[in-house]
A and B are shown apart, each in its own frame.
Chain A
Amino acid sequence: MVDVTRRQLLAAGAALGVAGTGFSLPVLAQSETGAGRKSITLALPRDVQPPFDPLNRLSYPEGNILRAVLQGLIAFKPGSFEWELSAAKRIEQVSDTVIEFELKPGLQFHDGFGELTADDVKFSFERAIKPGPDGKLPLHGKDLSALEEVEVTGTHTGRIKLKTPAPALWQVVLPDNSGLIISRKAFEAGAYRADQPTKVIGTGPYRLAEWRPNERVVLRANPDFQGPKPGFEEIVLRPVRDSKTAELAFRADELQFTAIEPANAADVGKIPGTKILKQDSINFVWVGINVEKAPFTDLRVRQAIRLAIDVDQVIEGAYNGAVGRAYAPVAPGLLGYWKDAPRRARDVAAAKKLLAEAGVSGLRTRLTLLNKPAYQNAGIIIQAQLAEVGITLDLDVQEGGSYWSAGNGETGKTLELSLQRFGGKADPSFQLQWFTAAQIGSWNWQRWNNPDYDALFAKAGAITDAAERGRLYIEAQKLIDESAAFIWLTHEVNVYALKDWLVPGILPNGDDQLFNRFGAA
């Protein structure tokens, strides 16, 4: 038995008291400039999850790591959706359905898995369309659904043959995560699997040196990389779920780059040595209306709701005016941007008139939304605006787990209004695919079904003339607009805090980042 004496108690208390009041424990070394800096730490919004496999990746954070470790034939340039050559020395669309490529010679996979060859390209791409040993296609196999085969014509040359023309391949596959090339030999030796998370064999600028769940991912420069040397020897990625913590860690120089809430930009920007980067996004946020649910089956009711909502006021309140207004799903700067989309102003009288014509009075409905502050604020404002035209709106605020299933399957039939946010990619086919009839029960929560739209979407996806594609996508958006089932709010803005010496490598959607293009000014 141990007796705790007064002396022991006092000694322990005194020791802790000293530690608590005067003794300064070591903190991380801080740097005020980027000169000579070999390592930076970036915040991740959540922990990453293996497998680090291009076709079975979970989402953006995993994809960003893969971009740093593997190479595609081509890669995006930072800050734009233009591409540049990566593993390919030459790549060319020789016909509507054939793309020829030639690889740079001597690109070496890590850990002695040999040179990257056309056979690795064939293996990497055809995995998407061939069921694995479990009889299933990879998670992102659909990205390459237009692929027929990759014909190897030499050690470094090959031809990508398509079943149908697929111009979107140049934006959403070849420079993107699903177009990253893995080593056939390494795959067969067990790499890229979830149970061996750090065994990610690539030819890219970094190697995945360390992955500690919920703690950190460390990327270390690949000495054998044959492209431009990355800006830092080491990139540490720290999952920081709480945005306030990320902000504080940035203040303490424990993070050199983090996304922040747009509303906090001015405050964080006052920290000495800080740069705030605001980047218009290509994501899209909107209020969707279920056209299968009465009384929203009546076009006039949907039009009334659209006229009753003051979008400018909604985004001012929800985003503190930090974002611009969206008028259509495809963002400015992208192919298919509809610059002449109607700029509707709020018209309460017209909204009331439409409701009266539809014979609707005392309508009570429900807006389903995610439990994020901006969306909740938007919901409250919309609630007040609809009240002015005699519509009582209940807010159905849900956490992510419930929310993302709200429009699916049978549950989706009972959905009424929903506030939605989808991420964008460089090609309009990505943004517009969610509104086809095939997506009803999955992601078309409006349950809007227009065969003309589907035909336009399919046609635009299979022609290579960019101008004509753009025109068709605009026509498709006009049909969306006519339905009055979509009230576009914003394309959002990405706001980052970074050290003023740091040059970031971010793509326009904000979610996709090029770690190898981060550097010191």
Chain B
Amino acid sequence: MPAILRHAGQRLATTLLVLIGAVALLFVLTLFISGNPAQVLLGPRATPEAVRAFAEAMGLDRPVHERFALFLWNVLRGDLGTDVVSGRPVATLVAEVLPYTVTLTLSAIAIAVLFGVPLGCYAATHPGSALDRATAAVSIGFIAIPNFVVAILLLLVFSIWLDWFPVLGVSRSGDLSDQLARLVLPALSLALTWIGYIARLLRASLLEVLGEAHIRTLRAYGVPDRTIVYKYALKPAAIPTVAILGLGIGRLLGGAIFAEIVFARPGIGTLVYDAISSRNYPVVQACVLVVVALFTLTNLAVDLSYAWLDPRIRKAGDR
């Protein structure tokens, strides 16, 4: 069996274990959360009878290990459970909002790469220049400012003062330009931090690669600097950045909650936020499962991409 397939198989098995571990951890954590879920869901005026009925419907009258086993069994059958508030399948709830979060996350990553990579490349090829120093300051600024502050500032500048983009995050389906317009600010609010990360990380790793022997050889052969940077140095230098991006997607999935709340967008973030606030455990469990699955699968893809990015890794894997 080729090494790459063996590696992929091992990572898939690890992914499954991580998923089960995450769900188990969540079950344990729910035991420590104060507040009766049924009471919270039904609000301050609920009768004790209604609270009892709801608790029963949520399965809270069963032992935790039984609930855990039942949940795992249902997941294996493709059933994420039923939302006890609306009575709708949790899988449907997740499927309704997941595209919004995935679109937002991917857009943020795309913006981060589009701006972060050129900035990182420039800084690496012009170390110590005024633009390099400015890029460093701006990058650190981007990293330091929390997402929700950035989101509010973007709204003030681009929606209120300049009137370029709408405030609320989604529009009616069918109007693509409006949908894109409503995606820009939420995606940018998430991306800014990552522009800084990518620029700084890429600069450091590119400087390291540019000092390696094969780059010196290329220079000795008279290969133009730009070709050296973009064709020969960028891909191996991108490996740490890609690794961070893999983790970043996980953080963005979690961080999307701020953008979704501030821009009033539907998404997995707002779904899980509401579900946690109301102790709607079936929805929380399903959302965590989906986010963990996306996170681990993304990292699996990132792991596999190293071989594509660096022939030395590919060849080492084949030996």
Q: How many residues of A contact B (CB 8 A)?
A: 64
Q: Which A residues are CB-close (under 8 A) to B230? A: 4-6, 9
Chain B positions within 8 Å of A349 at CB level: none
Contacts of A403 in B (CB 8 A): 35
Neighbour of B85 across the interface among A3, A49, A443, CB < 8 A: A49
Expressed in whole angstroms, the Cα–Cα distance for A51 and B163 within the complex equals 38
Contacts of A443 in B (CB 8 A): 44-45
Given A13-B115, A26-B181, do A214 and B271 touch, yes or no (CB 8 Å)? yes
A213 touches B164 (CB 8 A): no
What is the bound-complex CA distance between A242 and B270, given in angstroms? 11
A3-B231, A6-B230 given as contacts; is B165 within 8 A of A27 (CB)? yes
A46 contact set on B, CB distance < 8 A: 274
In the complex, the answer to whether A16 meets B264 with C-beta atoms within 8 Å is no
Which residues of chain A are within 8 angstroms of B164 by Cβ–Cβ distance? 24-25, 27
| Known contacts A245-B155, A254-B167, A442-B48; A401/B88 CB under 8 A | no
Number of A-B contacts (CB under 8 A): 159
Bound Cα distance A66, B160 (Å): 34
Residue on B nearest A442 in the bound complex, by CB: B48
B277 and A401 within 8 A (CB)? yes
Residues in A whose Cβ lies below 8 Å from that of B178? 26, 28
Q: Is the CB of A241 within 8 A of B264?
A: yes
Q: Which chain B residues (266-296) contact chain A, with CB distance < 8 Å?
A: 266-267, 270-271, 274, 276-279
* Minimum C-beta distance from A40 to chain B (A): 14
- A84 adjacent to chain B (CB < 8 Å): no
Check if A240 sits within 8 Å of B87, measured CB to CB.
no
CB atoms of A400 and B167 under 8 A apart: no
Minimal beta-carbon separation of A229 from chain B (angstroms): 24
- Whether A139 pairs with B42 at a CB distance below 8 angstroms is yes
Chain B's interface: helix, strand, loop or mixed, by majority? Answer: helix
Task: Out of A10, A28, A244, A400, name the residue touching B277 (CB < 8 Å).
Answer: A400
Taking CB atoms, residues of chain A closer than 8 Å to B93 are 213
Contact of A404 among B40, B48, B234 (CB under 8 A): B40
> Complex: how many Å from CA A49 to CA B283?
13
**Cβ < 8 Å to B, chain A residues 379-402:** 398-402
Chain B 142-162 residues near chain A, CB threshold 8 A: 152, 155-156, 159-160
Known interface pairs A6-B230, A27-B163, A238-B264. Does A249 touch B168 (Cβ–Cβ under 8 Å)?
yes
| Chain A hits for B160, CB < 8 A | 248, 251-252
Known contacts A25-B180, A27-B164: A195-B40 contact under CB 8 Å: no
| Beta-carbon nearest neighbor of A430 in chain B | B45
For the complex, is A94 an interface residue (Cβ under 8 Å from B)?
no
Residue of A nearest to B84 (CB): A194
List A contacts of B226 (CB < 8 A).
6
Q: For chain B residues 76-119, which have a beta carbon within 8 Å of chain A?
A: 85-88, 93, 96-97, 111, 114-115, 117-118
Nearest A residue to B156 by beta-carbon distance? A248
C-alpha gap A398/B279 in the complex (Å): 14
Q: How far is the CB of B255 from chain A (nearest CB, A)?
A: 15
Instruction: Give the interface of A toward B (CB within 8 A).
Output: 1, 3-6, 9-10, 12-13, 16, 19, 24-28, 46-47, 49-51, 58-59, 136-137, 139, 142, 193-195, 197, 212-215, 238-242, 244-245, 248-249, 251-252, 254-255, 398-405, 408-409, 411, 422-423, 441-443
Across the A-B interface, give the 8 residue pairs with the lowest CB-CB distance, nearest first. A214-B266, A194-B87, A25-B181, A249-B167, A402-B35, A401-B35, A402-B34, A405-B35
Given contact pairs A5-B231, A212-B96, A408-B36, a sample of 9 additional A-B residue pairs in the complex whose CB atoms are under 8 Å apart = A6-B226, A16-B115, A24-B164, A27-B164, A238-B264, A241-B270, A400-B277, A404-B40, A422-B44
Sample of 12 A–B contacts (CB below 8 Å): A13-B118, A25-B177, A26-B177, A46-B274, A139-B42, A214-B274, A241-B261, A248-B155, A249-B168, A252-B166, A402-B35, A404-B39
